[in-house]
Amino acid sequence: MQSDIKKVLYSEEQIKKRVGELAQEIKKDYEGKDLLTIGILRGAVMFYADLVRELDRPLHMNFMALSSYGISSSSSGAVRIQYDLEEDISNKHVLIVEDIVDTGLTLSYLTKTLNSRNPKTLKTCCLFDKPARRKVDFRPDYIGFQVPDVFIVGYGLDFAEKYRNLKYIGELMPEVYK
């Protein structure tokens, strides 16, 4: 696995520090409010698990799964819900926890869909943001790191289901995905 990584972009320590900072921000914003967090499978799983533990306050956890890139490194543009919530989110404070926002298509579709179910508030928290590749106007409410236009893997993020269990975020060698 390591030999496919061109460069380490964020170490385990850097990620841990930033996740802690995001948690402090979120904790402050939701003080005194009930909170339902929704982790997006599968890429956000490591981030989600670390973030909720850093939040260190009462909250509910749920999950959704959306269609991903499959074995390609660029979005097909079509977003599909593969696994939906069974619970009613109306009148709840909802926070979506996602790994990365790239073209913005996934999160703009998801926020539109969930907003139509009348939550009290709906916000998004993404560990990574690649603003250079945006196709639709979308800005997450909480962002961990802004990344350059390279394909990253590790800490939950995959390429063709590989590399998710790397402890750091690395830039994948272009020859692996081109």
Q: Is 15 in the site for ligand 5GP (CB under 6 A)?
A: no
Task: For residues 37 and 95, give the distance between their C-alpha atoms in angstroms, rounded to a whole number.
Answer: 5
Q: Is 68 in the site for ligand 5GP (CB under 6 A)?
A: yes
In the complex with ligand 5GP, the residue whose CB is nearer, 30 or 151, is 151
Cross-strand bridge partners of residue 93: 121
Six-digit token string for 70: 């499959």
Q: Is 24 left (phi over 0), alpha (psi -120 to 50) or beta?
A: alpha
Of the listed 4, 34, 56, 102, which one is catalytic?
Answer: 102
Six-digit token string for 120: 């009290």
Cross-strand bridge partners of residue 36: 60, 94
- Which residues of 21-88 form beta strands (DSSP E)? 36-41, 60-66, 81-83
Q: Is 100 in the site for ligand 5GP (CB under 6 A)?
A: yes
Q: Is 102 a catalytic residue?
A: yes
**142-161 positions binding ligand 5GP, by CB under 6 A:** 151-153, 157-159
Q: Is 103 in the site for ligand 5GP (CB under 6 A)?
A: yes
In the complex with ligand 5GP, the residue whose CB is nearer, 74 or 91, is 74
Closest separation in Å from C-beta 57 to ligand 5GP: 26
φ, ψ for residue 30 (rounded to 5)?
-105, 15
Chain residues binding ligand 5GP by CB under 6 A are 43, 68-69, 75, 98-106, 130, 151-153, 157-159
Could you give the residue numbers annotated as active site?
102
